Amino acid sequence: MELQTYRYHGHSMSDPGVSYRTREEIQEVRSKSDPIMLLKDRMVNSNLASVEELKEIDMEGRKEIENAAQFATADPEPPLEELGYHIYCNDPPFEVRGANQWIKFKSIS
């Protein structure tokens, strides 16, 4: 599968993404090539969903993301000794650079 994509934002927080392209270019790509918007338009034009139904789906998705973000923010950080839990089911079949070979991580599940 070969796909074309467009980076709407810069590469990092220090790169706002407008130093090498204009805001107008970004907006034009969003309005003409955004795959989510194109799918929504096709769904509405094919009577698969109404604009109101798609807005409701968007709002439900945003609410789910907001709830997950609040849960993650409120969840306490695990103790440092649990840092390596749930990374490997068994001991890794290779040496992990920088890891203390005398400390074995374990799974608590």
Per-residue pLDDT of 68-98, as tens digits, reads: 999 999 999 888 878 777 776 666 666 666 6
Least confident of 5-19, 29-43, 48-62, 82-96: 82-96
pTM above 0.85, yes or no: no
What integer pLDDT is reported at residue 48 of this predicted model?
Answer: 97
Indicate if the alpha-carbon torsion angle 64, 66, 69, 74 is positive or negative.
negative
Q: What is the DSSP letter of 64?
A: H
Backbone angles phi, psi at 30, to 5 degrees: -60, -40
Tell me the pLDDT band of 22, cut-offs 50, 70 and 90. Answer: confident
